[in-house]
Amino acid sequence: MSARTLPLLFLNLGGEMLYILDQRLRAQSIPGEKARKDEWTDVDRKRVMNDIISTMFNRKFMEELFKPQDLYSKKALRTVYDRLAHASIMRLNQASMDKLYDLMTMAFKYQVLLCPRPRDILLVTFNHLDAIKDFISDSPGILNQVDETFRRLIETYNPLSDGEFQLIRQTLLIFFQDMHIRVSIFLKDKVQNSNGRFVLPISGPVPWGTEVPGLIRIFNHKGVEVKRAEFTTAGNYVTPQREGSFELYGDRVLKLGTNMYSVTRPVETHMSGSSKNLASQAKENIAPNPLAKEELNFLARLLGGLDIQKPAGGESGFRLNLFTTDEEEEHAAQTRPEELSYKVINIEATQEPARRAELSRILGELDVAEPRPGSAEKGEDLLALMDGL
């Protein structure tokens, strides 16, 4: 497992979350002069996007995120996104949050699968950050935060070898391997089968720095080419014209990670049979994991860096529905397997007994991934860390 995977996973999933929220907020926006008090306006949309992006790229949070560390369970990361999505006046019901997370994860999983080279995962990340900068182009302060993260990415990942990027890609694929949610956009474009598995193309550009397949060269012991043989391939391959830019500004060339919701169309998610089977397996294994303290330390550090601003005064949050109607949202909440619906973990740290009781409850809920053999506990004082939440 790569200790450098977490920032790429978080930023790409966060980028997909912002694409979806922007699309849904635009679809539900009412012109300001016609809107009632409980209806969305474009001003509200910009405020939500600014608040979430500002929280997401908070300097303290980014410092914690970029520290070398292993990936943990899906439930831990989902908790971070729950809190991030509610960093503004927007409020999502459980079913809408489930759907949002499903769309985020399946979109990024597809992008990782399609990356021509493991190093191109960084270009996918840059595409997400380029689009995020467009969302907040009129907010120079937040734009500065994103640019700072951009520079941190370049400094951290550009020097890595191809082998290290391959390890990052394998870590991401292991994280996504049991997730087979069907998404209507992918089904309509015939890039996903009815069982939720993706269809990978056998044609198109080859990775930068490689040649179009179809030629075998044979060399002697001195490294001199002595023979050539050609063969026919099933795909139609082409050589890429140039490599994408790994700098702060530039043409990424690769289109993976760009906003697929820029053309408005309805997006639905459905559980595949394999995912339902996984849910039933998860139900059988509900014993508390003794290594859950490691998970809570991870959550405490990340969530402690999120500076969530509550609505001022008596201002109530606006509700956003990711479904077409309220009835569809209710039905989705009732039919989704309970084991696949992630509850928001709220930690009250005002009194010592209450904290210990809350932590004990969470220890039984967290689905913790085993650390690598030989890895030591990080040793932070858990209760002290929770004080920052």
The answer, yes or no, to whether residue 272 has pLDDT greater than 60, is no
Q: Domain-by-domain residue ranges, the chain?
A: 5-202+245-265+293-346
Residues in the chain: 389
Q: Write the pLDDT tens digit of every residue in 207-252.
A: 998 889 999 999 999 999 999 999 998 888 998 888 999 999 999 9
> What residues contact residue 319 under an 8 Å CB cut-off, 6+ apart?
90, 91, 92, 93
Q: 51: left (phi > 0), else alpha (psi -120 to 50), else beta?
A: alpha
Distance between CA 205 and CA 235 in Å, rounded?
10
The answer, yes or no, to whether residue 363 has pLDDT greater than 50, is no
pLDDT value at residue 94? 85
Distance between CA 216 and CA 213 in Å, rounded?
9
pLDDT value at residue 290? 46
Q: Write the pLDDT tens digit of every residue in 110-139.
A: 999 999 999 999 999 999 999 999 999 999
* DSSP secondary structure letter of residue 198: B
The encoded tokens of residue 378 equal 């990080």
Mean pLDDT of the chain, nearest integer: 77
CA atoms within 13 A on the CB side of 375: 16
**DSSP for 125-162, written as a single string:** HHHHHHHHHHHTTT-HHHHHHHHHHHHHHHHHHTT--H
pLDDT value at residue 87? 85
- Name the helix (H) or strand (E) containing 258: none
The rounded percent of the chain whose pLDDT value lies above 70 is 65
| Amino acid letter, 177 | Q
The answer, yes or no, to whether residue 360 has pLDDT greater than 50, is no
Task: Quickly state the pLDDT bin for 375 (edges 50, 70, 90).
Answer: very low
Longest dimension (CA), the chain: 81
> What residues contact residue 314 under an 8 Å CB cut-off, 6+ apart?
none
Output the CA–CA distances (angstroms, integers) from residue 210 to 116, 207, 229, 294, in the order listed.
10, 6, 18, 42
Q: What angle do CA 277, 11, 147 make, to 5 degrees?
A: 175
Which of 51-60, 112-121, 348-357 shows the lowest mean pLDDT across its residues?
348-357
The rounded percent of the chain whose pLDDT value lies above 90 is 44
pLDDT value at residue 335? 65
